[in-house]
Amino acid sequence: MDDRLAPGYRATVISVGLNGALAVVKLVCGIAGNSYALIADAIESMGDIVSSAMVWSGLVIASRPADANHPYGHGKAEPLAALFVALMLVAAAATIVTQALHEIRTPHHAPAAYTLFVLFGVVVVKEIMYRYEARAARKCGSTAVMVDAWHHRSDAITSAAAAIGITIALVGGPGYERADDWAAMAACVVIVVNAVHFVRTAVGELMDTRPEAAFVESIQAAALKVEGARYVEKVLVRKMGPQLYVDLHLEVDPELPVREAHRISHLVKDSIMAACREVADVLIHVEPARTIDSNARWP
């Protein structure tokens, strides 16, 4: 496992174990306590086990070194895993909404009061797990781990909504039995909105979307710190898992010998990789700088 991905790897392993334990607790309490919102939470936790395992697999594949068939490495496995997990979030929300609509049309008893304590516990545990895994995602720069972290927060959201619905059902009495079902549906809206955001993020990485302008500017600034580097004409950056690959056009004095221009390009590469630790490699195309007396370029 790549050291950069180690925090995400540990977080996903813990996530699998935690979701398994919570799924069992929520399913048993939901069935015994007559709360579909709690059962829906259990279903989502079961899906979280699959998604965390998928993220783990994506990280393992992404950590493999470059080879003859994958000269840029296997980093795209990571946003592929993120896309799969984000789509699973959408599917889980659709499943919960469908079943909640069925429960709304079907007369049933109000949930048991003790299910509230289970839900409060779930909210606390899941929010803690979200913060832990989100911190790991930022540390290793993994979109997939961040999406998996949001699975925990979506679970916390549905649990909080279920707690509100159950409270309304218990306080309102007869006629309010379906409140937790409506609460489950409301929580699904939040889940879908965030899932769509992560789908767009994962697709953006797969399509090599340009990073933020500030990052590109930091690369240019690092390049121009090198003596002899006159101008950076073009910067292209692609994200491969936790790593970034940079292609740039560097202008130098047109009268320099090839050996000296080559030396400057290596210094520029070292400067960029020192300033931007996530950059795995820099490919530099050296060009003659602008002429002194005009804006025309040397042929």
Give residue 3's pLDDT. Answer: 63
Give residue 251's pLDDT. Answer: 94
Amino acid at 137: A
Highest mean pLDDT range out of 44-53, 78-87, 113-122? 78-87
Give residue 249's pLDDT. Answer: 94
Residue 297 near residue 231 (C-beta atoms within 8 A): no
**Residue 134 scores a pLDDT above 70:** yes
What tokens does 263 get?
Answer: 């030396």
Q: Which of 109-123, 133-147, 252-266, 277-291 shows the lowest per-residue confidence on average (mean pLDDT)?
A: 109-123
**Domains of the chain as residue ranges with CATH:** 3-206 (1.20.1510.10), 213-288 (3.30.70.1350)
User: For 209, phi and psi rounded to 5 degrees?
Assistant: -65, 140
At residue 223 the predicted structure's pLDDT band, cuts being 50, 70 and 90, is very high
Greatest C-alpha distance within the chain? 89
Could you tell me which residue, 272 or 15, shows the higher pLDDT?
Answer: 272
The rounded distance, in Å, linking the Cα atoms of 270 and 191 is 43
User: For 75, phi and psi rounded to 5 degrees?
Assistant: -60, -25
**Residue 219 scores a pLDDT above 70:** yes
Q: Could you give the C-alpha distances from 298 to 18, 19, 25, 160, 184, in angstroms and in order?
A: 63, 62, 72, 65, 66
What is the rounded average pLDDT for all residues in the chain? 81
Amino acid at 80: L
**Residue 248 scores a pLDDT above 80:** yes
Could you tell me which residue, 206 or 272, shows the higher pLDDT?
Answer: 272
